[in-house]
Amino acid sequence: MRNWFMRKQKNKQKYMAREGLVGWTCPSNIALVKYWGKKDEQIPQNPSLSLTLSEAFTTTRIKYSYDPGQSAQNISFTFEGKKQAAFQDRIQIYLDQISAYLPFLTHCSLEIHSENSFPHSSGIASSASAMGALALCLVSMEEEISGKLNNNFQKQASFLARLGSGSASRSIFPGFVLWGSTPIWSDSSDEYAIPIQVEENSYKDIRDSILIVESGQKQVSSSAGHKIMDTNPFAETRFKQARNNLLRMEEILKQSMWNGFIELMEEEALSLHAMMMTGRPGYVLMKAGTLEIIRKVRDYRKATQHHLGFTLDAGANVHLLFDAAHEKEVKQFIDAELLTHCEQGQVIHDRMGTGPKKLNI
Ligand code: DP6
Q: What percent of the chain has pLDDT over 90?
A: 83
Q: Looking at the predicted structure, is the pLDDT value of residue 239 above 90?
A: yes
Give the mean pLDDT of 200-225.
86
Q: Looking at the predicted structure, is the pLDDT value of residue 276 above 80?
A: yes
Res 124: pLDDT: 76
- Which residue of 35, 50, 170 sits with most ligand 1 atoms within 8 Å of its CB, as the best mutation to test the pocket? 35
Mean of the per-residue pLDDT values for the chain? Answer: 93
Res 229: pLDDT: 98
Q: What is the dihedral of CA 188, 202, 211, 245, to 10 degrees?
A: -40
Side chain identity, residue 13: Q
Query: Residue 178: CA atoms inside 13 Å, Cβ hemisphere, count?
Result: 26
Res 88: pLDDT: 87
Res 8: pLDDT: 72
pTM above 0.85, yes or no: yes
Question: Binning pLDDT at 50, 70 and 90, where does residue 132 land?
Answer: very high
Q: Looking at the predicted structure, is the pLDDT value of residue 122 above 70?
A: no
Q: What gap in Å lies between CA 280 and CA 306, rounded to an integer?
A: 39
Q: Looking at the predicted structure, is the pLDDT value of residue 201 above 70?
A: no
Q: Which of 5-9, 323-327, 330-334 comes out lowest in average pLDDT?
A: 5-9
Q: Looking at the predicted structure, is the pLDDT value of residue 86 above 90?
A: no
Cβ–Cβ < 8 Å for 52, 177? yes
Res 125: pLDDT: 65
Res 216: pLDDT: 79
Res 133: pLDDT: 98
Own/partner contacts of 330-336, CB < 8 Å, gap of 24 or more, are 330/207, 330/209, 330/306, 331/209, 333/300, 334/209, 334/211
Give the mean pLDDT of 196-219.
85
Tell me which residue has its CA closest to atom 3 in ligand 1. Answer: 222
Tell me which residue has its CA closest to atom 6 in ligand 1. Answer: 223
Q: Which atom of ligand 1 is nearest to the CA of 33?
A: 18
Side chain identity, residue 90: R
- Spacing, Cα 222 to ligand 1 middle (Å): 6
For the stretch 2-17, pLDDT in tens is 688 877 776 677 888 8
Question: Binning pLDDT at 50, 70 and 90, where does residue 313 land?
Answer: very high
Q: Looking at the predicted structure, is the pLDDT value of residue 134 above 80?
A: yes
Res 218: pLDDT: 78
Per-residue H/E/C for 279-319: CCCCCCCCCHHHHHHHHHHHHHHHHHCCCEEEEECCCCCEE
Q: Looking at the predicted structure, is the pLDDT value of residue 93 above 90?
A: yes
Question: Binning pLDDT at 50, 70 and 90, where does residue 144 land?
Answer: very high
Q: Looking at the predicted structure, is the pLDDT value of residue 1 above 60?
A: no
Question: Binning pLDDT at 50, 70 and 90, where does residue 328 land?
Answer: very high
Res 264: pLDDT: 98
Question: Binning pLDDT at 50, 70 and 90, where does residue 121 land?
Answer: low
The answer for residues whose C-beta is within 8 angstroms of residue 28's C-beta and 6 or more apart is 53, 56, 57, 58, 118, 124, 125, 126, 128, 129, 171
Measured N-to-C along each axis, helices 127-146 and 85-98 cross at an angle, to the nearest 10 degrees, of: 50
Q: Which atom of ligand 1 is nearest to the CA of 125?
A: 3
Residue ranges around ligand 1 (CB below 6 Å): 31, 34-36, 42, 48, 125, 127, 165-167, 222-223, 226, 272, 313-314
